[in-house]
Amino acid sequence: MTAIAVLGSTNMDLVAYVPKAPRLGETVTGRAFRTVPGGKGANQAVAAARCGARVVMIGAVGADEFGVRLRSALTADGIDTAGLRTAEGASGTAHITVDDEGGNSIIVIPGANARVTGLEAGDETRIAAADALLLQLELPLEAVLAGARAARAHGVRTVLTPAPAQTLPGELLAATDLLVPNEHEAAALTGLTDPGRCAAALLEAVPEVVVTLGAAGVLYAARGREPLSVPAPRVRAVDTTAAGDTFVGALAVALGEGRPMPEALRWASAAAALSVQRPGAQDSMPTRAETDALALAGRDTRTARAPE
Ligand code: ATP
């Protein structure tokens, strides 16, 4: 069984559904309110666990009711939370307003996530036992760096989602095996707009890059190899929240199983395409069986079309 370690954030998403987002100073009456577990780290952990991996989560929740719920949401998916500290104070929260057009605005308050500033006892062992370490940028950079260093020291593949976009220290890039930005993050990192050019520029810093392009699929680039474009399965998207996290979790599992990159990309694209057809973040993430079924259907379609 593939083993995945995630060093990352847990947030409670506080989602208000409103006809129209309020302007500064304005009060509006909303339609509904939901609290749902989120955070890029926790999302990637859940995605990998549903895809059949053994997953350990390293990070922190707060000493509040949200912390209890965030931890139990992870354990419900079989994720090992021994490396998830309970820090003093509030859990991380994301205050999300979704309007009738589907547009959203988000305030993230890092809370307990901000108090993860490095590795603690047992974390290095957890990372060393994994096939891959998944990193994002919702924890302080020094913690992300410490994780990347530990993974490097033990020959563990590091997969970095550079979100939220920010300037990355050279040492972090040097310890990254696979960088997975979406097209906006790729543009922010390189100052370029064309995804192919972004990927080529990023290859100067990391050996492999996957730029995710929403409904257009993904672009894979590796040093010394021809770029590979993998289209997304055509589906009716209802909510793309956490599509990128679902993709990364599934990709790490497929690569951990030793599958070749093109097959792993197609399988992860199937997982992400399933997630966008259902509302929610972690709620929308597919099981391994569902992902296998869609990936197989896509392969059969391609095989059938090949002679045309
Ligand atoms: P998010 O922030 O919502 O998690 P993202 O901006 O990080 O997502 P995207 O590039 O939008 O990442 O999407 C990630 C992957 O999810 C895409 O590469 C694709 O495989 C899949 N995906 C996203 N939108 C769709 C869609 N409409 N149809 C099919 N697949 C999709």
Question: What's the gap in Å between 213 CA and the centre of ligand 1?
Answer: 6
Answer whether 214 contacts ligand 1 (Cβ < 6 A). Answer: yes
Question: What's the gap in Å between 63 CA and the centre of ligand 1?
Answer: 33
Residue positions in the annotated binding site for ATP?
A: 182, 212-217, 244-245
| Residue 219 placed within a domain | yes
**Candidate list 64, 80, 131, 245, residue with the active-site label:** 245
By the 8 A CB rule, do 290 and 274 touch? yes
Q: Which atom of ligand 1 is nearest to the CA of 183?
A: 10
Name which residue sits closest to atom 30 of ligand 1, judged by CA: 273
What pLDDT was estimated at residue 280? 83
By the 8 A CB rule, do 269 and 248 touch? no
Of 242, 258, 219, 237, nearest to 47 by C-alpha is 242
Answer whether 242 contacts ligand 1 (Cβ < 6 A). Answer: yes
Answer whether 240 contacts ligand 1 (Cβ < 6 A). Answer: yes
Contacts of 303 (CB under 8 A, 6+ apart): none
What pLDDT was estimated at residue 301? 56
Instruction: Respond yes or no: is residue 245 known to be catalytic.
Output: yes
What pLDDT was estimated at residue 215? 95
| Residue 61 placed within a domain | yes
Q: Where are the extended beta strands (E) located within the chain?
A: 3-7, 11-17, 32-38, 54-62, 84-87, 92-98, 104-109, 132-135, 157-160, 178-179, 208-212, 218-222, 228-230
Answer whether 217 contacts ligand 1 (Cβ < 6 A). Answer: yes
Of 93, 79, 70, nearest to 13 by C-alpha is 93
pLDDT in 10s for each residue of the chain, 308 residues: 999 999 999 999 999 999 999 999 999 999 999 999 999 999 999 999 999 999 999 999 999 999 999 999 999 999 999 999 999 999 999 999 988 887 788 899 999 999 999 999 999 999 999 999 999 999 999 999 999 999 999 999 999 999 999 999 999 999 999 999 999 999 999 999 999 999 999 999 999 999 999 999 999 999 999 999 999 999 999 888 899 999 999 999 999 999 999 999 999 999 999 999 988 889 999 999 999 999 998 765 554 443 33
Distance, CA of 151 to CA of 69 (rounded, Å): 29
Of 39, 42, 67, nearest to 57 by C-alpha is 42
Q: What is the ipTM of this complex?
A: 0.98
Name which residue sits closest to atom 22 of ligand 1, judged by CA: 214
| Residue 174 placed within a domain | yes
Which is it for the CA torsion 195, 201, 203, 205, positive or negative?
Answer: negative
Tell me the whole-structure pTM to 2 decimals. 0.95
Question: What's the gap in Å between 214 CA and the centre of ligand 1?
Answer: 4
Residue positions in the annotated binding site?
A: 11-13, 39-43, 138, 182, 212-217, 239, 241, 244-245, 275, 278, 280, 284
| Residue 36 placed within a domain | yes
Answer whether 43 contacts ligand 1 (Cβ < 6 A). Answer: no
| Residue 247 placed within a domain | yes
| Residue 58 placed within a domain | yes
What pLDDT was estimated at residue 302? 53
Ligand 1 pocket test, pick from 240, 241, 274 with the greatest ligand atom count within 8 Å of Cβ, gives: 240
By the 8 A CB rule, do 276 and 270 touch? no
Answer whether 213 contacts ligand 1 (Cβ < 6 A). Answer: yes
| Residue 305 placed within a domain | no
In one-letter notation, the amino acid at residue 99 is D
- The count of other CB atoms within 10 Å of the CB of residue 9 is 29
CATH number at residue 182: 3.40.1190.20
Question: What's the gap in Å between 247 CA and the centre of ligand 1?
Answer: 8
Q: For the chain, how many structural domains are there in total?
A: 1
Distance, CA of 3 to CA of 250 (rounded, Å): 12
> Is the backbone peptide bond immediately before 164 cis, with ω within 30 degrees of 0?
yes
| Residue 181 placed within a domain | yes
Domain that holds residue 211: 3-21+31-300
